[in-house]
Structure 1
């Protein structure tokens, strides 16, 4: 076992850290919201939807869902993943071609690049493959780039569309699409889903699920600890992971065999958990075992 995870794994009988902050599809917990979000992504691909939207707050689990989707894509679907694309239409098209492993020369004009892109889509269609472009952090594209993408979806062969788009981003992406001057774009959106934060019940199941996958027991975090973690994080998966990881470190340093509400309160009280800027208000944590509350 590598030294970077030995800080508490052996103490709790874990094979690995259950709350690694890097998105890992192997640890994906299928809560109700994530099941529905993934179903919408699959629905968009299977029905050849022109545009599918997936939005959610930072850390809601969108990227993890995307990674799972990419692992599950069948051979007849050619996927290009573009993250944080920006620039004018010429540069956007270069991002797209690069994601599809297609060359683009520095001196090529927009017309040349578009002709190359169109020819590629026709070739894939003739080979029995569909092309899906996935844009992560799509809220950064802006109105002009989104309109450019809408034009891409107009490329067709007879009645068959050659390109599908999946746009993933933060809540402001939905706000952009709903603007009055984006009506044409919105009409191409076949379906969309907003991935909300987890409920208190789901947070407890999520924590137990990840601990069990890492080789531990599901009751490593007490019910009081799970409630405290939910209240401090608002149920945002990335923040839950951060606070759980820190709580395991604190339980280890205290030589405790499990994480309790008091453990979580110690983490919060020492100010080592920043909460991703979740709230500027003091964090109020309830210990259900003692029926008391503590404000940090």
Structure 2
């Protein structure tokens, strides 16, 4: 596998793989929407908003933005990252305390856990630090867990902000929060942004950006190839990465220096790409 990857990079003169599926803030492409989403994150942090909400489709770049934020936070913030929390409110507290490196006894009940959490927040505040909890994949949290997060924000007193919450999730999270029985939770959200998909022009610029980041040339992808990539991925960054990665591999196998529309069609025809429009593979009626 490593030899195949080396051949891929050497063929195009790349320093590393440009379209990895793993979120990497070093490759972050600042679309106008990502700039606004990140500004909203910064605003939430700076104003110590009780709850900041960022939503978007799977692969829209939410996790990459979050990682970029983590790399640029001040030292006076203690951060806990909770990914895919599940269970009742007692289990949620265990997830939170674990994220904050606080050990808990298996026999501890809800009151014990909440007391430990509150004492930790107060101790951090006394030491000149505030606490931020980031919940990734928050759309998977139950209504009970979301209500528990609202109760967390009650720990803040007057102007003394001990705790901030950032929720990152898919679009259905917005639908959950907009329900009438979630009105009190929604009122605690002081900053929010919803990331939509990239348009055709942005997809081409995104491809060029990632290629140039690893020493590639601007015109390694033809405009027609990029257009078909956009159509097949609906402009979702993670899917763009998946399809472009395979297209580079196919162009390498064909010993071509430029990825053309024929390479995209070959990937689609071979069923190597599993995107939302995969069943229409090879349809070139709009190219």
TM-score interval, normalised by the smaller of the two chains: over 0.9
Q: What's the counterpart of residue 282 of structure 1?
A: 280
CA-CA distance at 1:6 after TM superposition: 1.2
Q: What's the counterpart of residue 145 of structure 2?
A: 145
Is residue 203–residue 235 contact of structure 2 (8 Å, CA) maintained in 1?
yes
Task: Kindly provide the CA deviation profile for residues 208-239 of structure 1, in whole angstroms up to 9, marking residues without a partner as x.
Answer: 01001111112111111111110111100000
How far apart in 1 are the matches of 2:227 and 2:277?
17
Structure-to-structure mapping, 1:76-115, within 5 angstroms: 76-115=76-115
Is residue 80–residue 96 contact of structure 1 (8 Å, CA) maintained in 2?
yes
CA-CA distance at 1:280 after TM superposition: 6.6
CA-CA distance at 1:279 after TM superposition: 3.8
Structure-to-structure mapping, 1:152-231, within 5 angstroms: 152-231=152-231
CA-CA distance at 1:161 after TM superposition: 2.6
4+ runs of 1 displaced by more than 6 Å?
Answer: none
Is residue 53–residue 168 contact of structure 2 (8 Å, CA) maintained in 1?
yes
SS at match of 2:134: strand
CA-CA distance at 1:88 after TM superposition: 1.0
TM-score between the two structures when normalised by the length of structure 2: 0.96
Alpha-carbon spacing, 1:202–1:285, altered in 2? closer, same or farther (3 Å): farther
SS at match of 2:15: coil
How far apart in 1 are the matches of 2:255 and 2:176?
50
What is the Cα-based RMSD across aligned positions, in Å?
1.6
TM-score between the two structures when normalised by the length of structure 1: 0.93
CA-CA distance at 1:283 after TM superposition: 4.2
Task: Kindly provide the CA deviation profile for residues 172-214 of structure 1, in whole angstroms up to 9, marking residues without a partner as x.
Answer: 0000000000010000011211111111111111000100111
Q: Which runs of 5+ in 2 are unaligned?
A: none
CA-CA distance at 1:158 after TM superposition: 4.0
Q: Which runs of 5+ in 1 are unaligned?
A: 287-291
How far apart in 2 are the matches of 1:262 and 1:284?
9
